[in-house]
């Protein structure tokens, strides 16, 4: 009978069936095919050191900051199987206050948080020795998934980023990876290639786990749910317009960091980013009803707030 060893990835918990006879006394190093984490497996003849959770704190706190309670609940459900205490905040100021008071191990921040841009929180958290160890996942709720075929230019100090429609199927592994201290693998194209079905890199004799449905769910497309709903009230329409404005500005910041700073420094922001700004304005005008746009300037206000924030950051 074959000497079979079942090995489990310590981060994503993928399981692999290995031929124990082919594992040397010193063990073998594997790379998980699912999350790319490198871990060691020892044969039965060698003592096995079980993975132990950190004892430095009794509760692992994870913060989710998003103004939409439905989204926060989606994150809570995605992490329901994990031993985490999930904290919630509805705006940037509230998120930063919780970070200072409760010191969560991981903070999941919406890029378009009201009150305080997520990149401001990232830079403040990472710039302070008291909070620099907190891991940050930036949720990039892009308003046009078809447009972006590259990773963001800068995460503003965040440790990882994830698009909102990948929350249910990818978030738990991302959080575990950050807690384990491994470097996140940034996907070149979110929502593109299907999950890998090959096994980890190791000595011959391993068998990959059987493929199957990942059970992926979707939170919804940002292009649809950032502005929509059944017969919304006028107040709802104004709220969604403000949200969409911040979302447009936040995405421009996320994908054009160097141009943004050059433009703000030289007073040429709208010239350097003319294509992105024009696309954002077109989207805003198409999605926001005329009676809401009349007498309001939510998109211009969002740009002005953002440029003012960058000017302060640059000391201008």
| pLDDT tens-digit readout, 239-249 | 888 888 888 88
> Do 81 and 143 share a domain, yes or no?
yes
> Do 32 and 67 share a domain, yes or no?
no
Mean pLDDT of 266-272: 93
CB 72 within 8 A of CB 80: no
- The model's confidence at residue 146, banded by pLDDT at 50, 70 and 90, is very low
> Do 27 and 92 share a domain, yes or no?
no
* Mean pLDDT across the chain: 72
> Do 92 and 25 share a domain, yes or no?
no
Give yes or no for residue 15 having a pLDDT over 80: no
| DSSP-based three-state secondary structure for 25 | coil
What is the per-residue pLDDT for 53? 45
> Do 244 and 170 share a domain, yes or no?
no
Separation between Cα atoms, residue 103 and residue 3, nearest integer Å: 46
Residue 73 sits in a domain of what CATH number? Answer: 3.40.50.2300
Percent of the chain's residues with pLDDT above 70? 62
How far is residue 110 from each of residues 4, 37, 51, 114, 180, measured CA to CA in Å? 44, 26, 32, 9, 23
Residue 94 resides in a domain? yes
Separation between Cα atoms, residue 19 and residue 206, nearest integer Å: 6
> Do 156 and 104 share a domain, yes or no?
yes
- In tens, the pLDDT along 97-135 reads 899 889 999 999 987 788 777 777 888 888 888 888 999
What is the per-residue pLDDT for 279? 86
- In tens, the pLDDT along 288-308 reads 888 889 989 999 998 998 898
- The model's confidence at residue 155, banded by pLDDT at 50, 70 and 90, is low
How far is residue 280 from each of residues 276, 284, 288, measured CA to CA in Å? 6, 6, 12
- In tens, the pLDDT along 163-214 reads 777 888 888 988 998 988 755 544 433 333 333 334 444 433 333 333 333 3
What is the per-residue pLDDT for 12? 55
- In tens, the pLDDT along 44-81 reads 544 434 334 444 456 789 999 998 888 899 899 999 88
DSSP run (H or E) holding 305 = helix 298-314
> Do 76 and 148 share a domain, yes or no?
yes
Separation between Cα atoms, residue 36 and residue 31, nearest integer Å: 5
The contacts found for 231-239 with CB under 8 angstroms, 24 or more apart, are: 234/291, 234/292, 237/288, 237/289, 237/292, 238/292, 238/296, 238/298
The larger pLDDT score, comparing residue 278 to residue 11, is at: 278
> What does the CA dihedral 150, 166, 309, 116 come to, rounded to 10 degrees?
180
CB 139 within 8 A of CB 75: no
With a CB cutoff of 8 Å and minimum separation 6, the contacts of 150 are 188, 189, 255
> Do 66 and 160 share a domain, yes or no?
yes
Output phi, psi for 142, to 5 deg.
-60, 140
Total number of domains constituting the chain: 3
> Do 172 and 73 share a domain, yes or no?
yes
Q: Beta strand pairing status for 28-31 and 15-19?
A: unpaired
Give yes or no for residue 238 having a pLDDT over 70: yes
Q: What share of the chain is helix, strand, coil (3-state, %, to 5)?
A: 40, 15, 45
What is the per-residue pLDDT for 195? 34
**Which of 310, 307, 306, 290 is closest to 241 using CA atoms?**
290
**Which of 188, 190, 210 is closest to 199 using CA atoms?**
210
> Do 259 and 231 share a domain, yes or no?
yes
The larger pLDDT score, comparing residue 9 to residue 177, is at: 177
Whole domain around residue 164: which residue ranges? Answer: 60-180
């Amino acid at each position: 009978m074959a000497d079979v060893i079942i090995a489990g990835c310590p981060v994503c918990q993928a399981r692999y069936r290995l031929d124990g006879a082919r594992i040397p006394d010193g063990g073998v190093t594997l790379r998980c095919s699912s999350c790319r984490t490198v871990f060691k497996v020892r044969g039965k003849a060698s003592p096995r050191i079980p993975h132990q959770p950190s004892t430095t704190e009794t509760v692992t706190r994870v913060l989710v900051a998003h103004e939409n309670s439905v989204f926060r609940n989606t994150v809570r459900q995605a992490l329901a199987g994990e031993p985490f205490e999930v904290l919630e905040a509805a705006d940037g100021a509230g998120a930063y206050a919780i970070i200072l008071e409760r010191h969560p191990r991981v903070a999941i921040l919406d890029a378009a948080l009201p009150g305080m841009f997520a990149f401001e929180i990232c830079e403040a958290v990472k710039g302070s020795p008291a909070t620099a160890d907190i891991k940050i996942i930036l949720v990039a709720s892009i308003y046009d998934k078809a447009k972006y075929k590259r990773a963001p230019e800068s995460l503003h100090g965040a440790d990882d980023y994830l698009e909102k429609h990948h929350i249910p199927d990818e978030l738990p592994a991302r959080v575990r990876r950050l807690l384990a201290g491994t470097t996140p693998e940034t996907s070149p194209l979110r929502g593109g290639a299907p999950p890998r079905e090959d096994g980890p890199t190791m000595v011959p004799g391993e068998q990959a786990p059987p493929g199957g449905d990942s059970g992926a769910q979707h939170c919804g497309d940002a292009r649809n749910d950032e502005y929509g709903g059944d017969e919304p009230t006028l107040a709802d329409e104004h709220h969604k317009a403000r949200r969409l404005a911040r979302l447009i500005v936040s995405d421009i910041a996320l994908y054009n960091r160097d141009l943004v700073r050059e433009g703000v420094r030289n007073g040429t922001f709208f010239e350097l980013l003319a294509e992105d700004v024009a696309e954002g304005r077109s989207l805003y005008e198409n999605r926001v009803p005329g009676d809401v746009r009349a007498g309001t300037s939510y998109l211009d206000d969002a740009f002005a707030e953002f440029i003012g924030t960058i000017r302060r950051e640059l000391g201008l």
